[in-house]
A and B are shown apart, each in its own frame.
Chain A
Amino acid sequence: MSIHAKKASDFISNEERTNWHDGALWHVRNKRDISASKIPEWELLRSTASQIKENVLSNLDNYLIQFEEEAKKNGVHVHWAANDDEHNSIVSAILNKHNAKKVVKSKSMLTEECGLNHFLEDQGIEIIDTDLGERIIQLRDEPPSHIVLPAIHIKKEEVGELFHAKLGTEKGNADPTYLTRAARTHLNHKFFEADAAITGVNFAIAETGGIVICTNEGNADMGCHSAPVHIHCMGLEKLLPKAEHLGVFIRLLARSATGQPSTIYTSHYHKPESGKEMHIVIVDNGRSEQLGKEDFRNSLKCIRCGACMNTCPIYRRSGGHSYHATIPGPIGAILQPNRNLQEYSDLPFASTLCGSCSDVCPVKINIHEQLYKWRQEIYKHNELPKSKIIPLKVTTNILASSTMYNIMGKLARTSLKLLPDFLLYNKLNTWGKNRELPAPPKESFKEWYKKNKHE
């Protein structure tokens, strides 16, 4: 069994919890539908966004240079990191320069991808995730299970227990308002003590050198406004050519993510306040390689809204951790194999290719088609398990010969009184664990046709 299949099966073994997880995410998908349906030009927005990103990917070098120039003019320090190690070293050098020991960080999948938290912790730096969901999983010492709703796999009762143990809230109190207030008080102390703030970046504007951060909790702003140094970490694909393009994406992002018209805070950062320092770290970490792969490059259009996860019938029932990757779900399944084909060769198979992800995606990434293409790559690179290859090779040889096919089918249906397992692709017992087999008909269509229609 593949890693995903195994982890998914473990997750599903608690069916009640699976139903709860599925229902919670389906609810978010529904809110997205309602919100999108109120925008008559929704589909036009999607194609416009997709085309703007197409332009960005085709001219990425120029936009990056332009962005750096403009940001520097604004008095921002710009750094380039080829990979995760470089990213972490750059961030830690900035922190060391300022002797920063206490750091607050708002949501950033990029720093997650680079393993920044553990890197800094090993150097004795306290790094606190300030997004409520992220703080919950940080206190549990777990990775996020979703890119927008990192703690979606945890029930409020479990948060109550966690906060009781870690933050001293009342035992047995799982009231969301009470718990949120407790977290807010706890985090406010962290904001006031912070020596530096780190944030992710939603959009970076080449024309202005500014960046945009979208949050619902205002935690990115709390950090940046209270600390003397703020560092913004971004993947190099986050660019938009002009400020005027932002509207298209802001209208799509929150509606796709949660059904909100926009996030509560859409904050634009252009330059540091006087006496402060602002840094931007631009990270490649495999992105330029993905850009060079024609079939897969437009996965870099992703704006990390999470809609493909909410809609994915597999993700909803297998949980984000079953993808054993920083970015889970459909988009993770097309991004992760680029990073390590061997390690993530199971992910493109964690899909029925139903295509819901592609239709929900606000930047129209053809996710399910890329899953199909990754499957072909995985076979070509010999990363397909033998348990899949051998039966299908046998099957192909049978199917390539009409005579063989007829004989095998007949043997299976009549003599053996079993259904042809070459059509069931695998051992019958896996199919039959939770399902019956169809009753074998006495003759195939072809046999019937020969008897009845052959003149």
Chain B
Amino acid sequence: MNYTVGLFIPCYIDQFFPEVGKATLELLEKNGCKVIYPEEQTCCGQPMANTGMEEVGKKIYQSMGELFKGCDYIVGPSPSCVYHITKHYDVVEQTPEIKHLRAHTYDLVEFLYDILHIEKLEVSFPYRVGLHKGCHGLRGMQLDNPSELMKDIPSKWGHVLGLVKDIQMTELTRTDECCGFGGTFAVAEEAVSTKMGRDRIADHVNNNVEVITSGDMSCLMHLKGIIDRQKSNLKVMHIANILNGDHI
């Protein structure tokens, strides 16, 4: 059970949201993992690949394999980046390092649920919380049941948030619509992107949400950008911070 976990902190979390990185690190340590953080890491290459420039971004992929080769698992607080590694690193040579990386990289919540089988959290979060199910985690990794599928996939996000004391999870009218971030889409299709964001926020507001949480900080960065422009007092908080017992 004493796993050596390689901490994968996506570039935008490193640069903009260090508190999410800290919470991830603390959570893993609290749960008995030996965490190492290879400091040469930068980015998974998703921004280039999603724009069609996989060929250019590829040079980053092999170095990711090298960086994390000694770890039992690689864990990052971002389903989107994890999905990119596990799904799209198929285009480089499948060296033992790349194979290991692709098979053992987990999103934080996925790791807590699938590997650590977490059943207890000694934290409280006394707010009405709306869960934003980021699309890569939802439909790419099935961390929850996508509303389109007539299946019974358990909600990993729901499970871990359910362990938090005093939290009030709030139902949304559209349970899993995309927020419109989409990487370069956010600027290339600015009008649609921000309209989608405004609509998502309105859904949370109409259902009396106080804090929007998500596994993906990129979605929250986009939503918070709009919330701040609207001068609303709706808050956003990454799921790692809630699970770690951080305060708003």
Q: Which of A33, A353, A447 contacts B182 (CB 8 A)?
A: A353
- Is B180 engaged at the interface, CB distance under 8 Å to the other chain? yes
Main secondary structure of the interface of B (DSSP, over half): helix
B178 & A9 in contact (Cβ 8 Å cutoff): no
Neighbouring A residues of B63 by C-beta, 8 Å: 400
**Beta-carbon contacts under 8 Å, B13-58 to A:** 13-22, 25, 37, 39-43, 45, 47-57
Inter-chain CA distance A50–B18, complex, in Å, is 45
B47 & A395 in contact (Cβ 8 Å cutoff): yes
B150 & A43 in contact (Cβ 8 Å cutoff): yes
Neighbouring B residues of A37 by C-beta, 8 Å: 150
A351 & B185 in contact (Cβ 8 Å cutoff): yes
Q: Which of B39, B139, B189 contacts A446 (CB 8 A)?
A: B39
Q: Which of B14, B18, B146, B191 contacts A8 (CB 8 A)?
A: B191
Neighbouring A residues of B185 by C-beta, 8 Å: 349, 351-352
A375: nearest residue on chain B (CB-CB)?
A: B52
A317 & B225 in contact (Cβ 8 Å cutoff): no
Inter-chain CA distance A318–B192, complex, in Å, is 7
- Is B196 engaged at the interface, CB distance under 8 Å to the other chain? yes
A351 & B182 in contact (Cβ 8 Å cutoff): yes
Inter-chain CA distance A266–B242, complex, in Å, is 54
Given the interface contacts A353-B182, A354-B178, A356-B148, does A426 sit within 8 Å of B18 by beta carbon?
Answer: no
**Beta-carbon contacts under 8 Å, A114-159 to B:** none
A43: nearest residue on chain B (CB-CB)?
A: B150
Inter-chain CA distance A395–B12, complex, in Å, is 13
B189 & A433 in contact (Cβ 8 Å cutoff): no
Minimum distance in angstroms from B147 CB to a CB of chain A:
7
B195 & A392 in contact (Cβ 8 Å cutoff): no
Interface string of A252-295 (1 = CB under 8 A from B): 00000000000000000000000000000000000000000000
Q: Which of A36, A350, A392, A443 contacts B51 (CB 8 A)?
A: A392
B202: nearest residue on chain A (CB-CB)?
A: A19
A352 & B178 in contact (Cβ 8 Å cutoff): yes
Minimum distance in angstroms from B84 CB to a CB of chain A:
10
Neighbouring B residues of A348 by C-beta, 8 Å: 52
B52 & A376 in contact (Cβ 8 Å cutoff): yes
- Is B117 engaged at the interface, CB distance under 8 Å to the other chain? no
- Is A384 engaged at the interface, CB distance under 8 Å to the other chain? yes
B147: nearest residue on chain A (CB-CB)?
A: A33
Q: Which of B20, B51, B150, B193 contacts A384 (CB 8 A)?
A: B51
Neighbouring B residues of A26 by C-beta, 8 Å: 174
Report how many residues on chain B are interfacial, defined by Cβ distance under 8 Å: 77
Given the interface contacts A426-B184, A445-B22, does A433 sit within 8 Å of B149 by beta carbon?
Answer: no
Neighbouring B residues of A420 by C-beta, 8 Å: 15
Inter-chain CA distance A39–B191, complex, in Å, is 38
**Beta-carbon contacts under 8 Å, B85-109 to A:** 88
Given the interface contacts A39-B150, A317-B195, does A438 sit within 8 Å of B17 by beta carbon?
Answer: yes
Minimum distance in angstroms from B203 CB to a CB of chain A:
11
Minimum distance in angstroms from A123 CB to a CB of chain B:
41
Inter-chain CA distance A133–B18, complex, in Å, is 53
Neighbouring A residues of B147 by C-beta, 8 Å: 33
B11 & A9 in contact (Cβ 8 Å cutoff): no
**Beta-carbon contacts under 8 Å, B184-242 to A:** 184-199, 221-222, 224-226, 228-229
**Beta-carbon contacts under 8 Å, A177-198 to B:** none
Q: Which of B18, B187, B189, B197 contacts A441 (CB 8 A)?
A: B18
Neighbouring B residues of A437 by C-beta, 8 Å: 225
Residue among A8, A15, A384 with the highest chain B CB neighbour number at 10 A = A8
A395 & B225 in contact (Cβ 8 Å cutoff): no
A402 & B150 in contact (Cβ 8 Å cutoff): no
Neighbouring A residues of B48 by C-beta, 8 Å: 392, 395-396
A445 & B9 in contact (Cβ 8 Å cutoff): yes
Minimum distance in angstroms from A132 CB to a CB of chain B:
28
Inter-chain CA distance A449–B49, complex, in Å, is 29
Inter-chain CA distance A420–B11, complex, in Å, is 11
Minimum distance in angstroms from B31 CB to a CB of chain A:
17
- Is A378 engaged at the interface, CB distance under 8 Å to the other chain? yes
Q: Which of B20, B42, B55, B135 contacts A379 (CB 8 A)?
A: B55
Neighbouring A residues of B13 by C-beta, 8 Å: 445
- Is B154 engaged at the interface, CB distance under 8 Å to the other chain? no
A438 & B192 in contact (Cβ 8 Å cutoff): no
Inter-chain CA distance A9–B146, complex, in Å, is 28
- Is A423 engaged at the interface, CB distance under 8 Å to the other chain? yes
Neighbouring A residues of B12 by C-beta, 8 Å: 423
Interface string of A397-416 (1 = CB under 8 A from B): 01111100100010011000
Neighbouring B residues of A313 by C-beta, 8 Å: 177-178, 180, 196
15 contacts between A and B (CB under 8 A): A26-B174, A352-B135, A352-B185, A359-B139, A379-B54, A388-B51, A388-B184, A401-B42, A405-B42, A426-B188, A430-B187, A435-B225, A435-B226, A445-B13, A445-B17
Q: Using a CB–CB distance below 8 Å, which chain B residues touch chain A?
A: 9, 11-22, 25, 37, 39-43, 45, 47-57, 59-60, 63, 88, 135-136, 138-140, 146-151, 174, 177-178, 180-199, 221-222, 224-226, 228-229
The 5 closest A-B pairs by CB, nearest first: A352-B182, A435-B225, A375-B52, A445-B21, A355-B139
Can you name 20 extra interface pairs (CB under 8 A) apart from A2-B189, A313-B178, A440-B16?
Answer: A2-B188, A5-B189, A12-B191, A12-B195, A352-B135, A375-B50, A379-B53, A388-B51, A393-B53, A399-B45, A400-B63, A401-B42, A426-B187, A431-B225, A433-B190, A434-B226, A438-B16, A443-B18, A446-B14, A449-B25
